[in-house]
Structure 1
Amino acid sequence: MAMLAAVGQPVPNTPHAVSVSLPSWKATVGYEEGEDWVLSKMQTGYPRFFIHLTIQELGNEILKLYGRSGEAVMLFPSLATAKKCFKFFYDKVQGLGVGVVHVLQLEPVNTGNRSHATTLSGLSCVFFPKEYFNVAKQVWQHTGDGISSRRGEFCLKALRDGILEPVTTQPQIRPDDLYTKGPRRYQRPGSRNGIIHDIPSSNNGTTDRAGTDGEDKDHAQFVEERFGRNLNVKLASQAKLAIRRRISGCLTDDAELEQALKKSPDGGDGRQKGLSENDVYLYPTGMSSIFNTHRILLANAEAKGQAPRKSICFGFPYIDTLKILEKWGPGCLFYGHGSAACIDDLERRLDAGERFLALFTEFPSNPLLNSADLQRIRVLADKYDFTVVVDETVGNFTNIDVLSRADIVVSSLTKVFSGDSNVMGGSCVLNPQSKWYAELKQAMSREYEDNYWAEDAVFMERNSRDFIRRSERINQNAEAVVRSLQQCPLVKQVYYPKCSPSRPNYDACRSPNGGYGGLLSVTFQHPEQAVAFFDALEVQKGPSLGTNFTLACPYTVLAHYAEMGWTAQWGVEPDLVRLSVGLEEPAELADKVDRALRAAEKVKI
């Protein structure tokens, strides 16, 4: 049996792990309460909530070089993303003077003789009074647009080597420049994030040994030793292309990079008629794909001269989706139950003349695994002219087809698409059959900025090659766990698409060979039983989902600790345990669940 990680250790045990170990109910509460016995041990955390220690180190060095007394700094991959943070400050903090928040651009400098193409990175640094750190942290968490840990590692080395310096002419951003009566049109400045330079063949003790030969060698050694801080541009661009082809559906089997690159770029055989990789846009995180989809829809509406319209959040979502819709733009209408009655109410509002920008929904939802009636929503959207955005992360496109009922589909590639829990990523897919398609393509051409760090793309591509096979195995394992839990009299309810009252909605979108995914939630007759079950469950415990290993968390405590009364009104109970089922042997996984249930049985009520 694999050793379970101790409090605060990365899960998995790698420098760029996506999850962190909170191995007991008490540890999770201690983390939320800010108790030192937990926080002092935190080596990492989920990247949008915990700023990686390497990024913290980079920020501290930048503060020493360029900061003022009493300032903190938040790091972004481009000027456009930094401007969003700058604007958020002046929108949310009253009375900030000009220059109190300011932006510094750092870019790579020419270092002389160069021998091959490599990827370099600039940085946009937003400085602000440190007492307002929580404001900047909201931008980091909700938008998902902060720099990744691998980019931070790369830039820290570049800064120390003297090849990352302030640009000669710094951007002059004034608060007044960012205000408009409605949602402002986010201009897309030329991104200098993906600058291609030639750098010396020897850098940080590594050498590029000819092109891309040996691509199938051990991946960790291949990337870390062969490229080191000297990442080949061609490999990174090929990795992004392969990812986009995998998502568009023109790859219908597990495929190595070479196979992926041989596939025709033309659409027609993918997930949707006419769909090609050119309709797939990559983002640094799943939440970034949601935030930027919302941002681009707002910008597109403004470009057409429309008055600001609220969006709709349909069904109880992962926390940051709702926060994005509430904090950016004119707000949102929240239907927390996501039921037929909610659609009835929405239809009455539309009939009465209310109009909306877009409807955002998860399919199925996290953590209650409810599936919205996408067909009814599609009919209303076509009649009343709003965009439908579906987050398919939990269902994933091997199991479900939601693109045919949506205008835009977003997903967190960090989850089951990657599986290894060592890299972040997100995607946005436009439906070529949508009536909004031509308009959305034009909007993306104006507004989209590729901030997906090259090294992250290389890891994501490698991780996703066996995505289809892993997804099938996870489906089978999850159904077995669901059956075990349903048979236990201590269990109050199991939340899973297959046993949900909304299953007909899920089945209406299920692929011919699709399953019901790897995510499930469970509640018990008594909260003490939930605690005992969770503590005794011999799997890794922490944030995230879709990992190749089973991962559990007391979801409501972890995601909504300060608002559990609010979550309860939407059916998300305080003692809910969420399980993301992995690739373990079925018998091994069943034994772990049975032992945890026996521990729950011993609780005296």
Structure 2
Amino acid sequence: MVCLPEPPTTVGSAIPAHTPHAVSVMFPTWQDNVYYEQGDPRVTSKMECGYPRFFIHPFIQKLCTRLVQKFGKPTEAGMLFPSRKVAERCRNFMKRTYLPAQQTSGLIRIAEFEIASVDETSELQRVPMYIVLFPKDAFPVAKQFWQHAGDNVSSRMAEYCLRILDANDSIASSQNSSAMYEPKRGNRRYVRASHPHNIEAQLKKETKEETCEAEHSAYVEERYGRNLPVIYADRAKRALRRRIAGVLTEAESGEMMEQFSQTTAEDLQHQRQLKGARGIRGVSEEDVYLFPCGMSAIFHAHRLALAVGDQSLKSVCFGFPYTDTLKILQKFGAGCYFYGIGEDHNIDELEERLKGGERILSLFCELPSNPLLKSPNLKRLRQLADAYNFFIVVDETIGNFCNVGVLEWADMAVSSLTKVFSGDSNVMGGSMILNPNRQFYDKLKKELANDYEDIVWAEDAVFLERNSRTFKERAKSINIDAETLCDFLIKHPKVVSIFYPKYTCRENYDAVKTPDGGYGGLFSIILKSEKHAAQFYDNLGCAKGPSLGTNFTLASPYTILAHFTELDWAEKFGVPKHLVRVSVGLEGKERLLAMFKKALDAVDDL
């Protein structure tokens, strides 16, 4: 059991409370979730934050407003992105999906510039910024790209830029200067080595009045070893890649600043000889790619398959997935076939399709799936992929590589590092790892050498590295307590069913479970009706909001939040409106059992 703070109780509060970069938000009652989906100000006006791909962080909103005022027209809105490539992809998406842009050229444009300090002695680094400008009524279209692609400006990046602009404003007010922005000139491009993503340059200590709180936080984290200073961001990313590849030893993890100044050819050769946590040889940190969030990793896995394979072929979404995975496959490329049940009879159908002469580009699946916790027959899917030459991409977020070894059967494994890998619910991140033993590996590596760009913000990498040091220990503890809780719930008379890998498609899950692995910390619970589900949810004494894999138990009425406009469609695939998804934390089994017993006691008798 870990001593965790009590969750907030008021609607719209950040989860965790008082956390500027929190990635979840409190919806205490069932009706709060409905109000949120309806855009009701009873909830939306009180939100301190939200899940970052769905709710644009206040820091980002503030920065974007200032930049639109500088570069846009009164009739325009804008969307910020961290690279030119991402901004161009957004513009191209909007040209395809925003009807007026198909009829009138120039409606969607990109402003490119640097945010830089006017103080020549400042050590605050220049930040390249790209804003896509468009008519205000096109904002929902731009938001779709933001949500689906995930290649977004992070809240910490926006906060850093605001620090620069606020400092410039202070100088301007005292020196009557208006220089705040430095537009790019001619064909000059930002010099990558001078950007905080990659350089080893310490953030400047500003005046005590402006930054005392930030400096105190940084001092505490660095003084007591919980965090790396920002000058070690590159080393933090190297440690992350090794940890995700499964080749980072505990000794290396404890000597971060000394161990990761560089990677030598001998280091890589040694990594490739290890079997490591992934259970296969040949994997090294060079096979791991970092992204701003998990959905970005999925988006780029799909882009990668399109670039290397035949773009005219459709993909397959196998099993009921997290909502944006399906949207990506449908909206980018030739489309997809959706096998929403994700069981063996769907493999039979797919095999018949392939035997009939049809070809597919790739197959995306989750192991286990969200929110039904189903596991596909990955070994059988691998046999089809080898026979008919398509990619397999497995989202291992829910299982995580402590519990399941999916990379052996995949061409690419993707994951949201925001979840249990981080646990602290205060930073976003994603990863993609290639299987070096698959036939497409060399082509994938070549394409990534030309196209991949590291847009993970330095401070985000630092927080991810720090948070993930205890990943394996936390995952093991969560496994044990979640299994105990589910064993109690499945026998409870008021519970209709529990979706959990121990009970759901267990044979397929066990086939790839690691020797020391468990069944993870996520499950979904079904009660008799929406009324009963609401009573249970409203009386559950844990944090309640979007996301999962947090160090604290987190519940949500998943179908309401993810499929509010398509509830009947979701139910066709076994995902009812009154499903409650629960992500188990580190409170300890006694506290968890008491918490859930109390919530069920509040449910009307059947």
TM-score, structure 1 as length reference:
0.89
Give secondary structure in 1 for the equivalent of 2:111.
strand
Percent of matched pairs sharing the same residue: 47
Q: Distance in 2 between matches of 1:195 and 1:400?
A: 32
Is the 1:155–1:164 Cα contact (8 Å) retained in structure 2? no
1:151-166 map, 5 Å: 151-160=157-166, 161=168, 164-166=181-183
The answer as to 2:72 corresponding to 1:55 is no
- Report the counterpart of residue 498 of structure 1 in structure 2: 502
- Report the counterpart of residue 176 of structure 1 in structure 2: none
Selected match of 1:296 from 301, 304, 307: 304
1:541-580 map, 5 Å: 541-580=544-583
Alpha-carbon offset, residue 259 of structure 1: 5.0
Is the 1:113–1:200 Cα contact (8 Å) retained in structure 2? no
The answer as to 2:452 corresponding to 1:433 is no
- What residue identity is the alignment partner of 1:139? F
The answer as to 2:246 corresponding to 1:246 is no
Closer/same/farther in 2, CA of residues 518 and 261 from structure 1, 3 Å limit:
farther
Selected match of 1:448 from 431, 446, 452: 452
The answer as to 2:539 corresponding to 1:532 is no
Q: Distance in 1 between matches of 2:361 and 2:74?
A: 43
Is the 2:193–2:199 Cα contact (8 Å) retained in structure 1? no
1:118-157 map, 5 Å: 120-157=126-163
Give secondary structure in 1 for the equivalent of 2:105.
coil
- Report the counterpart of residue 583 of structure 1 in structure 2: 586
In the TM superposition, what whole-angstrom CA distance separates every residue of 1:142-163 from its partner, at most 9, and x where no partner exists?
A: 1111101000111122234256
Unmatched 5+ stretches in structure 2: 169-178, 261-266
Closer/same/farther in 2, CA of residues 253 and 537 from structure 1, 3 Å limit:
farther
Selected match of 1:33 from 5, 29, 38: 38
Q: Distance in 2 between matches of 1:586 and 1:110?
A: 51
Q: Distance in 2 between matches of 1:92 and 1:273?
A: 44
Is the 1:518–1:580 Cα contact (8 Å) retained in structure 2? yes
Q: Distance in 1 between matches of 2:47 and 2:429?
A: 23
Is the 1:313–1:334 Cα contact (8 Å) retained in structure 2? yes
- Report the counterpart of residue 178 of structure 1 in structure 2: none
Alpha-carbon offset, residue 529 of structure 1: 1.4
The answer as to 2:288 corresponding to 1:283 is no
- What residue identity is the alignment partner of 1:338? G
1:349-360 map, 5 Å: 349-360=353-364
- Report the counterpart of residue 113 of structure 2 in structure 1: 106
Deviates more, 1:104-113 or 1:30-39: 104-113
- What residue identity is the alignment partner of 1:50? F
- Report the counterpart of residue 493 of structure 2 in structure 1: 489
1:385-404 map, 5 Å: 385-404=389-408
RMSD, matched Cα: 2.6
Is the 1:414–1:421 Cα contact (8 Å) retained in structure 2? yes
- What residue identity is the alignment partner of 1:104? A
Closer/same/farther in 2, CA of residues 191 and 386 from structure 1, 3 Å limit:
farther
Alpha-carbon offset, residue 94 of structure 1: 2.5
Q: Distance in 1 between matches of 2:192 and 2:220?
A: 35
The answer as to 2:93 corresponding to 1:88 is yes
Q: Distance in 2 between matches of 1:268 and 1:25?
A: 51
Alpha-carbon offset, residue 3 of structure 1: 4.6
In the TM superposition, what whole-angstrom CA distance separates every residue of 1:271-313 from its partner, at most 9, and x where no partner exists?
A: 2211000000000000000001111221223xxxx45111110
Is the 2:116–2:127 Cα contact (8 Å) retained in structure 1? no
Give secondary structure in 1 for the equivalent of 2:511.
helix
Give secondary structure in 1 for the equivalent of 2:602.
helix
Is the 1:313–1:335 Cα contact (8 Å) retained in structure 2? yes
Give secondary structure in 2 for the equivalent of 1:361.
strand
Q: Distance in 2 between matches of 1:215 and 1:307?
A: 47
The answer as to 2:184 corresponding to 1:167 is yes
- Report the counterpart of residue 510 of structure 2 in structure 1: 507
Closer/same/farther in 2, CA of residues 29 and 261 from structure 1, 3 Å limit:
farther
- What residue identity is the alignment partner of 2:259? K
Closer/same/farther in 2, CA of residues 398 and 195 from structure 1, 3 Å limit:
closer
- What residue identity is the alignment partner of 2:296? S
Give secondary structure in 2 for the equivalent of 1:414.
coil
Q: Distance in 2 between matches of 1:588 and 1:277?
A: 39
Q: Distance in 2 between matches of 1:35 and 1:192?
A: 44
Selected match of 1:217 from 215, 223, 232: 223
In the TM superposition, what whole-angstrom CA distance separates every residue of 1:432-469 from its partner, at most 9, and x where no partner exists?
A: 11111111110111111101000000000000000000
- What residue identity is the alignment partner of 2:415? S
Q: Distance in 2 between matches of 1:191 and 1:347?
A: 49
Closer/same/farther in 2, CA of residues 59 and 345 from structure 1, 3 Å limit:
same
Is the 1:16–1:422 Cα contact (8 Å) retained in structure 2? yes
Is the 1:286–1:411 Cα contact (8 Å) retained in structure 2? yes
- What residue identity is the alignment partner of 1:100? L
Give secondary structure in 1 for the equivalent of 2:433.
strand
In the TM superposition, what whole-angstrom CA distance separates every residue of 1:6-40 from its partner, at most 9, and x where no partner exists?
A: 10010002000000001110111111111121111
Is the 1:283–1:427 Cα contact (8 Å) retained in structure 2? yes
Closer/same/farther in 2, CA of residues 51 and 257 from structure 1, 3 Å limit:
farther
Q: Distance in 2 between matches of 1:252 and 1:511?
A: 18
- What residue identity is the alignment partner of 2:394? V
- What residue identity is the alignment partner of 1:93? Y
Q: Distance in 2 between matches of 1:36 and 1:77?
A: 31
The answer as to 2:281 corresponding to 1:273 is yes
Deviates more, 1:550-559 or 1:244-253: 244-253
In the TM superposition, what whole-angstrom CA distance separates every residue of 1:104-147 from its partner, at most 9, and x where no partner exists?
A: 1122458575697x754211100000111000000110111110
1:274-423 map, 5 Å: 274-301=282-309, 306=310, 308-423=312-427
Aligned residues: 570
Unmatched 5+ stretches in structure 1: 173-188
Alpha-carbon offset, residue 527 of structure 1: 2.4
Give secondary structure in 1 for the equivalent of 2:60.
helix
Give secondary structure in 2 for the equivalent of 1:370.
coil
Is the 1:78–1:192 Cα contact (8 Å) retained in structure 2? no
Q: Distance in 1 between matches of 2:187 and 2:134?
A: 17
Q: Distance in 2 between matches of 1:53 and 1:4?
A: 19
Q: Distance in 1 between matches of 2:193 and 2:187?
A: 14
In the TM superposition, what whole-angstrom CA distance separates every residue of 1:150-198 from its partner, at most 9, and x where no partner exists?
A: 00111122234256422123899xxxxxxxxxxxxxxxx9898647496
Q: Distance in 2 between matches of 1:51 and 1:35?
A: 17
- What residue identity is the alignment partner of 2:288? V
Deviates more, 1:160-169 or 1:288-297: 160-169
Is the 1:103–1:124 Cα contact (8 Å) retained in structure 2? yes
Alpha-carbon offset, residue 530 of structure 1: 1.2
TM-score, structure 2 as length reference:
0.89
Alpha-carbon offset, residue 257 of structure 1: 5.0
Alpha-carbon offset, residue 88 of structure 1: 0.6
Q: Distance in 1 between matches of 2:258 and 2:447?
A: 28
Is the 2:402–2:475 Cα contact (8 Å) retained in structure 1? yes
The answer as to 2:82 corresponding to 1:72 is no
Alpha-carbon offset, residue 4 of structure 1: 3.1
- What residue identity is the alignment partner of 1:70? T
Closer/same/farther in 2, CA of residues 170 and 90 from structure 1, 3 Å limit:
farther
Closer/same/farther in 2, CA of residues 89 and 213 from structure 1, 3 Å limit:
closer
- What residue identity is the alignment partner of 1:165? E
Alpha-carbon offset, residue 43 of structure 1: 1.2
Deviates more, 1:484-493 or 1:101-110: 101-110
- Report the counterpart of residue 473 of structure 2 in structure 1: 469
- What residue identity is the alignment partner of 2:93? F
Alpha-carbon offset, residue 203 of structure 1: 3.7
Deviates more, 1:370-379 or 1:527-536: 527-536
The answer as to 2:10 corresponding to 1:6 is yes
